[in-house]
Amino acid sequence: MNPVFGEKKIQLNGEDYTVRFTWKALAAIENKYGDAPDFFNPEVVANILSIAINDSEMTAEKILEMNAPFVPVSLAVQEALQWAYFGKEPISKSDEKKNRRKGGFFRLIRRLF
């Protein structure tokens, strides 16, 4: 687990997978879902995981079939995304006021953490 690189271990059906949100992965997620992906939708979380797991066999369909507990996986994905965007340091209130483009995605992350 490396918060500097947005890297986190996620367990799916007893197996550990490394989720890493590179800039390329972040761009793909934003192109597909904009700045406010729905982290309460299993298909969205599965698609985001398939982008972030560096394994060609881990497709969104396969992740959906695993039926892992949804909320812990969703929270882990959100935490890894937060690390990829901001690092492990919390966002200061002055930074929040300066950048209004953060939109719903970042409000959702803050609300869940």
- d(C-alpha 9, C-alpha 20), whole Å: 9
Give yes or no for residue 7 having a pLDDT over 90: no
| Confidence band for 29, pLDDT divided at 50, 70 and 90 | very high
pLDDT digits (tens, 9 = 90+) for 64-110: 999 899 999 999 999 999 888 888 765 565 555 555 555 666 666 66
Helix (H, G, I), strand (E, B) or coil at 91: coil
Give yes or no for residue 32 having a pLDDT over 90: yes
Mean pLDDT of 14-43: 91
| Confidence band for 6, pLDDT divided at 50, 70 and 90 | low
